[in-house]
Chains A and B, each alone.
Chain A
Amino acid sequence: MNVVIMGCGRVGAQLAALLEEAGHKVAVLDTEPYSFRRLPAAFKGTPLVGDGTDEEYLKKAGIEEADAFVAVTQGDNRNVMAAQIAKHVYNVPKVVCRIYDPIREELYHTLGLETISPTMVGAQLLRDKVVG
């Protein structure tokens, strides 16, 4: 699969490494080149400096041939906007978007985006540890 990841934080970099290990072709976008230090030393994919809400950089990252797009920057709104561009403009078959705010997550989920709220997932896991 061709995968474009927006945001090279801990999660983005780790995901890139996992996907590459599994044999997928990965491009990672981040506005801050220093973030790419988190990628494994042997990373063969494409690190690309640029804003994933800008179609120019999405195209450079190969969005037109992508099978999947993942938005994991720190900004919920940036993730939401980039995910909608990938889904509605470039018709990427699989689009996943991280949204910290659980209420916004629920809304965009009902609007048809595939979303994950780490706030919700994290709190539930911790609760299970505490009371389980």
Chain B
Amino acid sequence: MYIIVVGGGKVGYYLSQALLSEGHEVLILEKDAAKCDAICEQLGSVVVRGDGCEARTLAEVGTERADMFIAVTNEDEDNLVACQVAKHKFKVPRTIARINNPKNEALFKKLGIDVTVSSTNLILEHIQEEVPTHPLVHLLTLKGGDLEIVEVKIPPDSSVVGKRMRQIVFPPDSVICLMIGKWGPKVPTGDTILEADAQVVAVTRPEAEGALRAALTE
């Protein structure tokens, strides 16, 4: 595949390195001359100095035959415009934008960007997983964004410890899919008894997250 990467910072560099090693044809667009030189030295002549939002630059690097277009600069507005130009002017079938400000996720979707990756959210989620006191951790946002998979750890002092699953009132659209207790993982039924320190994996809506956490931990 021919893949164009806009932005030769750390994300752009390591992404391109990985794509090249998989055998793809990769071209990096980067504005900064020093970064271009460094990339050229490390990865070979796969970098062109230029603005990935400028239609003229994109025409020069053959964007119309690109299979994928990935914008990973530090500026959300630049990633948005680069992807929109690639999509609408050069008809690139798949555009991916990095988002730095999580607030922009819904907007980018609305404005037609095929895939968004929120780097700030990803880092936050990973750090949350490592904070042992944090009772609810996001594992995954399902396609469309209105459902998510979360993990809740049952604290030993929770009122649900020792109760059966059916005795607990969960918020609507929240489904418990898995319980990992001291006997290993199992798919819970109404008769399953909740154990202290068990990890519960559930599907829920973002707005019901607080209620789900309260139901399992209070």
Query: A: which residues have CB within 8 A of B?
Result: 53-56, 75-78, 80-81, 84-85, 88-89, 101, 103-104, 107, 110-111
Nearest CB in chain A to that of B106: its residue = A89
Which of A76, A85, A88, A110 is close to B81, meaning CB atoms less than 8 Å apart? A76
Residues of B within 8 A of A88 (CB): 110-111
Answer whether residue B76 sits at the interface, using C-beta atoms and an 8 A cutoff. Answer: yes
13 cross-chain CB contacts under 8 A: A53-B77, A55-B103, A56-B103, A77-B78, A80-B80, A81-B81, A88-B111, A104-B55, A104-B85, A107-B85, A107-B88, A110-B88, A111-B84
CB distance A89 to B78 under 8 Å?
no
CB distance B77 to A81 under 8 Å?
yes
Q: How far is the CA of A90 from the CA of B30 in the complex (A)?
A: 34
CB distance B80 to A103 under 8 Å?
no
12 additional A-B pairs beyond A53-B77, A84-B107, A88-B110, beta carbons within 8 Å, are A53-B76, A54-B101, A54-B103, A56-B103, A80-B81, A81-B76, A85-B107, A89-B110, A103-B54, A107-B89, A111-B84, A111-B88
Residues of B within 8 A of A84 (CB): 107, 111
Nearest CB in chain A to that of B101: its residue = A54
* Contact flag A78-B54 (CB < 8 Å), given A85-B107, A89-B110: no
Answer whether residue B182 sits at the interface, using C-beta atoms and an 8 A cutoff. Answer: no
Q: How far is the CA of A53 from the CA of B108 in the complex (A)?
A: 12
Size category of the B interface is: 20 to 34
Within 8 A of A (CB), among B40-92: 53-56, 75-78, 80-81, 84-85, 88-89
Residues of B within 8 A of A104 (CB): 53-55, 81, 85
CB distance A77 to B53 under 8 Å?
yes
Name the distance in Å between B143's Cβ and chain A's nearest Cβ. 21
CB distance B110 to A77 under 8 Å?
no
Q: How far is the CA of A110 from the CA of B111 in the complex (A)?
A: 15
Residues of B within 8 A of A56 (CB): 103
CB distance B80 to A81 under 8 Å?
yes
Residues of A within 8 A of B76 (CB): 53, 81
Q: How far is the CA of A77 from the CA of B56 in the complex (A)?
A: 16
Q: How far is the CA of A85 from the CA of B84 in the complex (A)?
A: 14
Q: How far is the CA of A81 from the CA of B71 in the complex (A)?
A: 15
Q: How far is the CA of A88 from the CA of B108 in the complex (A)?
A: 11
* Contact flag A76-B53 (CB < 8 Å), given A53-B77, A81-B77: yes
Name the distance in Å between A42's Cβ and chain B's nearest Cβ. 34
Residues of B within 8 A of A54 (CB): 101, 103
Q: How far is the CA of A78 from the CA of B55 in the complex (A)?
A: 17
CB distance A77 to B88 under 8 Å?
no
Q: How far is the CA of A55 from the CA of B108 in the complex (A)?
A: 13
Residues of A within 8 A of B54 (CB): 101, 103-104
Nearest CB in chain A to that of B55: its residue = A103
Q: How far is the CA of A104 from the CA of B85 in the complex (A)?
A: 8
